[in-house]
Every structure is written in structure tokens, then in C-alpha cells.
Amino acid sequence: MKTETTVHGLAASLQTARSTKKLIGFVPTMGNLHEGHLSLVREAKKICDVVVVSIFVNPTQFGPNEDFENYPRSWEQDSQLLVDVGCDIIFAPPVEQIYTTQPVITRIQVTEITEILCGLSRPGHFDGVALIVTKLFNIVQPHYAFFGQKDFQQVAVVKQLVQDLNLSVEIIASATIRAEDGLALSSRNGYLNDQERAIAPTIYQSLRQAEQALHTGTILTEVLEGIRISLLEAGFSVDYVEAFTPHLKPVQSTDTEVVLFVAAKLGTTRLIDNLHVKLMTA
Amino acid sequence: MKTETTVHGLAASLQTARSTKKLIGFVPTMGNLHEGHLSLVREAKKICDVVVVSIFVNPTQFGPNEDFENYPRSWEQDSQLLVDVGCDIIFAPPVEQIYTTQPVITRIQVTEITEILCGLSRPGHFDGVALIVTKLFNIVQPHYAFFGQKDFQQVAVVKQLVQDLNLSVEIIASATIRAEDGLALSSRNGYLNDQERAIAPTIYQSLRQAEQALHTGTILTEVLEGIRISLLEAGFSVDYVEAFTPHLKPVQSTDTEVVLFVAAKLGTTRLIDNLHVKLMTA
């Protein structure tokens, strides 16, 4: 496994692969890798010849009061995990390799689908995501890029970006990887103390109960309220509990699938999760 | 010469060139070609193996009260000119090939350098330019792309975009091509009636006089005022007469080069021009 820290170095490392038409797979990460990331690398290994994993804590996707400075960095451990899982190249650039001019004067905004959910709670977040993803895609020029469905809205933004900017990469979204108790894996889980960690699975449990309720005919608004109450009772402060279609449109009475979305805080730690539910049709 | 009207068709046409590592040159145009465009194609022919010219009147770079509907289309003539000049592929897509979803929900904004000059007079124009240029670059994937310095601010926006989005294309900017009387060639010159066409060269004449005045020590503000007066006396309505550094920063007393910019209307026809002036240093 090679590690590259510069754009030119990465290009050089990929040159042979590119000229011999190897399929290049790309897993963008902010490091602090967990089984969710590793499952994406395994997925990439299945269909690609060369797998690049980027580790880059992207400043532009953090708000001014968010956890950029404290976001967990764990280079030694990440590096070992990536060797073990068969990653070919780690791309771990310093900030100034990616943002050569400060301040960054180009913005990319995917509108509409970012004006809900985390787009409302984290102003500018998806602009930062759109910019870094576009940059990294142009730097790595992969055939496939892999994202986790835990960040459902992010996947939607990235797919929209690929379509709207004619980026020549195919986006593969993989199922959320969960702890045994159902908690969606996330680097931010590391912020939780023992007590919070014990409460955290309530998010997924309440989503699954909601699915059951929808299947037994409870109306959507009542189901969402049920999730909210479960979370509040467990000690969360709730950011949002909402439902949209899989294309992030408002749910209509004729829809046969919905995605339930939750963002909630335990102490200062913000957790998100979602569940894609097929509705029973009459 | 081939003509392609779909993204897939173009990709297929370029496949051999790409896999045999031919250098691909790209000249994006809105058609209604003149010698300025053709000079870019000739430039491209010099350093590239395959030259693609796009003809696409991009709706997103026109304001609601601008001339999108009336923008001159001249397919037969353009096509013949491109054969003559040795263009290899014309890419002439219909709007729905480029904008597959309506409305377009992704925006690209190059800030700062678009907050002056034509960016002020034509709100949203450079967002439209940034989006279409990014899309076309991703569709054509050229090694080199060619632009005319007549659209100085556009060239700056495109270069910024390439840097900020890590697009792998090199931008070549060529000198403005002018009529014998100095008028910068532009598709919009076709809107001028005979009387207006006779007055139009005043723009370039006043820029050259301004250069002389700067060389003989006249201060910049006075020189700009001189241009404005010449234009008003000739019958223009003046949009702007300004100077910036070649990097589109405000001019400082220590600068040794400035670019003089003019936008002015004759009737409903808006003309722009610019002149890069090296200042005499003491």
C-alpha cells in the first residue's frame, strides 16, 4: 500500500493504472475509520482493480461552531486498517494541497435537496461537501466512488452533483453498517461517554418501531411523533425527525416508499440515522 | 469533420483519440462564428491532435432580459467555417442533452472576481458560465481549452474554476481579434446597424488613447474619465469604464500593469472590450 500526500504524487501513482485501463475505485473519508468505511473499501475491491482511500478532514464542510478542530484523527490506526483490508493507495493530503488559495473563492451549491434536514441544521455543510467531492473526484478520476447510506442526504447530493456537472464517475451507495445493538457506525460515536453510548441505540430502535407502526397502518405524522417522543424520553435533544421520499421530495399520500430521518444530540454529540421503509399498499 | 449532438455520441467519437493518448483541444463557443473563434481553432490545431468545437447557446448564462432568444444562430455557415479551418468534431447538443433536469439545481459560483465589471451588470451571468464550462470540460475532457482575451473576466473565471475544482485541463487565452478599424470581433456586432457599426470602433480607439495618456504620465482616474467622455460623445451609453490589475484586483499605486475595461451600449447592443497596459516605471 502506498501513501500519497500530494496531488502530483497521487497522479504519478495512478498513471500506470490509468494507462492500462485498470478500474479505479475511490472511497473518500475523513479518517477515524470504522467498519462502515472498511465495508466500502471491501465493496470497492470487489469491482475495481485499484482502490484509493482519501483521508482528509475537510474544513469547508464544518460550520464555525462545529467540531473541525476536535474531529478525531487516528492516522496510525487508519493506516493499519487500510493495509489489512487491501487498500492500494491512501491519499492523505495536507489542507494546503487541496485549498491552494485562501479563502476559497469558488462555491458549489446543490440547491433544493440541501434545503431540508442536515442542510437546515448545518448551513453551508453541503456546499463544503459538494466542493470537496468535486475536487477529489477531479483529482482521483475514479470510475467508481463509494459512500455509505448512513449519510443518505450526502449520497443524494453527490449523485446530483455527478449528474449536474457531468462528472464521469459512478456512485455506489452501500447499506449502513451498525453495531450489534443497532447504532449506526460513525466516527462521532467516539465522542459518547458510556452512559450516552448505552442510550444511543434508541435512534435505530425507534426507527424500527416506526417501520412496524407504518406496516400496521399508523399514519406517518403519528409515527414521526412517536420517534420524537422515544428520543426525548431517552434523553436526546432532537434536531429533526422527518420523512421524505427516496428522492428527498415531500411525501405524498400515493408514495409507496419513504425514508425516515433522525438527527439528535446526546450532550454535544450529534448523531444521524435513517431508515428506508416500503409502505404496505392496499 | 464529424458532428455530434449527444454526450454519448461525443464520448464514442473521442474514444479512440483518448485511448491512443492523442491530445484533445477544445474551443467552446455559442456559434455565430467569426475570425476570433477561428483563430482559437487554429491555435488549438497547432498543439492538439484532435480539436473539438462546441456550439451551444447556453441559456443559464443569459439574464431574463437578455438576448438568449435572439442570439444569432447560423449553423450552416458555422459548420462550413469549421470544416475549412480543420476542426475535427463539432459538438452541438440540444439544451436537454446538457440540462437533463429542469430547473437546474446545482450552481457554481466563483466569487470575488465576479463581483465587479460584467458580474455587476449581468447578475448570474458568470454562474451560468461557470456551470456550462465545468459541464463541457467534464463531457469533452480536453487537455487544452481555448478562450479569447476579449472576454478577459470570463477567462479569469474559467482559470479560477480550473484551479479551485482541480479540473485537469490547461487554459490557453489568445489575443482579441479585431476588425481593421479596431472593433473587437463579437457575435453581437451583428446587431449593429450601419451607423452604430461606424461608431463602434470608438471603444478601442479610446482604449488606445488611454494607453498613450498613461504612458505620458496622466493619472489613471483622469484616463478612465477620458474614455468615458469619448464614449458618451460618440453616442454610447456607458455601462462601465474601469481599471483592475491583470488578476482583477483593485489597482494600487505600485502596480506596473493595469487592464482597462469598457462595457457600453449602442442602442440595445452591449459591447465590451479591454486593453492590457504596461505602465512606465520611473
The answer to whether the CB of A214 falls within 8 A of the CB of A208 is no
DSSP string, A214-276: HHTT--HHHHHHHHHHHHHHHTPEEEEEEEE-TTSPBP-TT-SEEEEEEEEEETTEEEEEEEE
Q: Has residue B143 been placed in a domain?
A: yes
| Cell numbers for A66 | 462545529
Q: Is residue B281 included in any domain, yes or no?
A: no
Segment A262-279 mean pLDDT? 97
Q: Give the ipTM.
A: 0.94
- Closest-CA residue to A117 (of A276, A274, A281): A274
* Bridge partners for B90 per DSSP: B3, B53
Closest CA to B73 of B190, B165, B179, B175: B190
Cβ-contact B132, B61 below 8 angstroms: yes
Per DSSP, the three-state class of B81 is helix
- Chain B residues inside the 8 Å CB shell of A166: 7, 134-135, 138-139
Beta-carbon contacts of B123 under 8 Å, excluding residues fewer than 6 positions away, are B63
Same domain, A148 and A9: yes
B195 and B90 in a common domain: no
Largest CA distance in chain A: 58
Q: Does A168 touch chain B if contact means CB atoms closer than 8 Å?
A: yes
Look at residues B174, B204, B223 and tell me which one is the last residue of a structural domain. B174
B180 located within any domain: no
In a domain, A27, yes or no: yes
| A106–B107 CB contact, under 8 Å | no
Torsion angle of C-alpha atoms A231, A234, A236, A242, degrees rounded to 10:
0
Task: Kindly state whether A15 is in contact with chain B, defined as any CB-CB distance less than 8 angstroms.
Answer: no
Q: Domain range holding A124?
A: 2-174
The CATH number assigned to the domain holding B247 equals 3.30.1300.10
Question: How much is the pLDDT for A97?
Answer: 96
Contacts 24+ apart (CB under 8 A), A45-50: A45/A85, A45/A86, A47/A23, A47/A144, A47/A172, A48/A22, A48/A23, A48/A24, A48/A142, A48/A143, A48/A144, A49/A17, A49/A22, A49/A23, A49/A24, A50/A14, A50/A17, A50/A22, A50/A23, A50/A24, A50/A25, A50/A88, A50/A89
Contact predicate B214/B277, CB 8 Å: yes
Chain A residues in contact with B106 (beta carbon < 8 A): 108-111, 130, 160-161, 164-165
Per-residue model confidence as pLDDT tens digits over B60-117: 999 988 999 989 899 999 999 999 999 999 999 999 999 987 778 999 999 999 999 9
Q: Verify that A100 and A219 share a domain, yes or no.
A: no
Q: Last residue of a domain, which of A146, A174, A202?
A: A174
B244 and B170 belong to one structural domain:
no
The verdict on A151 and A215 lying in the same domain is no
At residue B103, the pLDDT reads 76
Mean per-residue pLDDT, B132-146: 98
Inter-CA distances, B197 with A267, B18, B58, B175, B270, Å: 71, 44, 26, 22, 12
pLDDT of residue B104: 81
Residue indicated by cell numbers 437546515: A120
Q: Indicate the residue type of B170.
A: E
Instruction: Report d(CA A47, CA B108) in Å as an integer.
Output: 32
Are A174 and A43 spatial neighbours (Cβ–Cβ below 8 Å)? yes
Q: Is A240 found in the same domain as A148?
A: no
pLDDT 10s digits, A1-56:
999 999 999 999 999 999 999 999 999 999 999 999 999 999 999 999 999 999 99
Q: Is residue B182 part of a domain?
A: no
Q: Is B13 annotated as a binding residue?
A: no
Q: Choose one of A152, A174, A196: the last residue of a domain.
A: A174
Cβ distance B164 to A106 less than 8 Å, yes or no, reads yes
Say what the pLDDT of residue A121 is.
94
For range B254-279, the mean pLDDT: 97
Question: A99 with A151, same domain?
Answer: yes
| Contacts made by residues B188-193, CB under 8 angstroms, sequence distance 24+ | B188/B67, B188/B269, B188/B270, B188/B271, B189/B34, B189/B269, B189/B271, B190/B32, B190/B72, B191/B67, B191/B267, B191/B268, B191/B269, B192/B266, B192/B267, B192/B269, B193/B267
| B61 carries a ligand binding annotation | yes
Peptide bond into B103 cis (omega under 30): yes
**Which residues of A are annotated binding-site positions for ATP?**
30-37, 148-151, 177, 185-188
Same domain, A100 and A201: no
Residue B279 lies in a domain: no
For chain B positions 117-146, those within 8 Å of chain A (CB to CB) are 130-131, 134-135, 138-139, 141
The pLDDT-based confidence of B227 (bands split at 50, 70, 90) is very high
The stretches of chain A forming alpha helices (DSSP H) are: 7-19, 35-47, 75-85, 95-98, 118-121, 125-140, 152-164, 194-199, 202-215, 220-234
C-alpha span between A147 and A186 (Å, rounded) = 13
Q: How far is B275 from chain A, CA to nearest CA, in Å?
A: 25
- Let me know whether A82 and A198 are in one domain: no
Q: How far is CA A60 from CA A190, B42, B236, in A?
A: 22, 41, 45
Average pLDDT over residues A85-99: 97
B169 and chain A in contact, CB less than 8 A: no
- On average, the pLDDT of chain B sits at 96
| Per-residue confidence band for A281, with pLDDT thresholds at 50, 70 and 90 | low
- Would you list the DSSP string of B99-167? --SSS--EEEEE-STTSSTHHHHSTTHHHHHHHHHHHHHHHH--SEEEEEGGGHHHHHHHHHHHHHTT-
On chain A, the residues whose CB falls within 8 A of the CB of B140 are none
What residues of chain A lie within 8 A of the CB of B93, using their CB? none
Q: Which residues of chain B have a CB within 8 Å of the CB of A106?
A: 108-111, 130, 160-161, 164-165
Distance from CA of B94 to the nearest CA of A (A): 15
Determine, yes or no, domain membership for B126. yes
Number of structural domains found in chain B: 2
With cut-offs at 50, 70 and 90, classify the pLDDT of residue A101.
Answer: confident
User: What is the separation of C-alpha B55 from the centre of its chain, rounded to a whole number of angstroms?
Assistant: 14
Chain B contact present for A167, CB below 8 A: yes
- pLDDT confidence of residue A103: 76
- Determine contact, residues B282/B138, Cβ cutoff 8 Å: no
B107 to chain A nearest CA, in Å?
A: 5
- Residues B111, A109: C-beta atoms closer than 8 Å: no
Choose, out of A19, A20, A58, A105, the residue to mutate when testing the contact with B (most B CBs < 10 Å).
A105
Residue A62 sits in a domain of what CATH number?
3.40.50.620
State the pLDDT at residue A282.
Answer: 53
Interface test with B, best of A26, A157, A166 (most B CBs within 10 A): A166
Closest-CA distance of chain A to residue B166, Å: 5
In angstroms, the CA B278 to CA B258 distance is 7
Phi/psi of residue A24, nearest 5 degrees: -105, 125
For residue A257, is it within any domain? Answer: yes
Tell me: do A84 and A19 sit in the same domain.
yes
Please check whether residues B127 and B212 belong to one and the same domain.
no
State residue B281's pLDDT score: 65
The pLDDT of residue A272 is 98
| Tens-digit pLDDT profile for residues A190-244 | 999 999 999 999 999 999 999 999 999 999 999 999 999 999 999 999 999 999 9
Interface test with B, best of A96, A164, A247 (most B CBs within 10 A): A164
Q: What is the DSSP letter of B184?
A: B
- A163 shares its domain with A252: no
